[in-house]
Amino acid sequence: MTGRRFTRLALAASMLAAWSAAGQAQQVRDDEAVARGKAKYEHTCAPCHGRGAGDDGRVMLPGTAALAIKYRGELPPALEDRQGLTADTIRAFVRNGSFSMPPFRPTELTDREIDDIAAYLAVSSSAAAAGSQR
């Protein structure tokens, strides 16, 4: 092997190592965002948007109920089962509110927390879709 070719190979290997380390670090950050988003969603959104019974065990979920009427079965009523909800879409509803959904100010819910919720909803809805294909 010529020295030059070896240098190129070594360079490629070290780039690969750096790339996969960066990938792992990114994955850890993503997992943390999803975990934070899940906690925030469960506390702030699920009382209205949950899949099952409400806080007190009774089914009183105005968000899920309103979206069931709005989409008439064309889209899943629970946000955790909805695919393709971007952070921008979520932000628009969260900042402005919609009918009986109240708006949230940045002091109540930061932009980063909305991004975290979007990360969680993307993961939960793809898991739900994978489950329904079984």
What residue ranges bind ligand HEC (CB under 6 A)? 44-45, 47-49, 62-63, 66-67, 70, 79, 85, 90, 93-94, 98-102, 104, 109, 117
Nearer to ligand HEC, 4 or 43 (CB): 43
Q: Spell out the residues 6+ positions from residue 107 whose beta carbon is closer than 8 angstroms to its own.
A: none
Nearest approach, Cβ of 22 to ligand HEC (angstroms)?
30
Q: Which is nearer to ligand HEC, 23 or 52 (CB)?
A: 52
Which residue, 17 or 127, is less far from ligand HEC as judged by CB?
Answer: 127
SS3 category, 37: helix
Report d(CA 118, CA 10) in Å as an integer: 40
Q: How far is the CB of 51 from ligand HEC (least distance, A)?
A: 14
Q: Is 111 helix (H, G, I), strand (E, B) or coil?
A: helix
Q: Least Å distance between CB 99 and ligand HEC? A: 4
Q: Kindly report the number of other CB atoms within 10 A of residue 27's CB atom.
A: 10
Give dist(CA 16, CA 18) in Å, integer: 5
Closer residue to ligand HEC (CB): 24 or 86: 86
Kindly state the smallest distance separating residue 69's Cβ from ligand HEC, in Å.
7
Distances (CA, A) of 64 to 27, 83, 102, 112: 31, 15, 15, 24
Q: Which is nearer to ligand HEC, 8 or 112 (CB)?
A: 112
Q: Tell me the closest approach of the beta carbon of residue 21 to ligand HEC, in angstroms.
A: 33
Cβ neighbours around 76 below 10 Å, total: 19
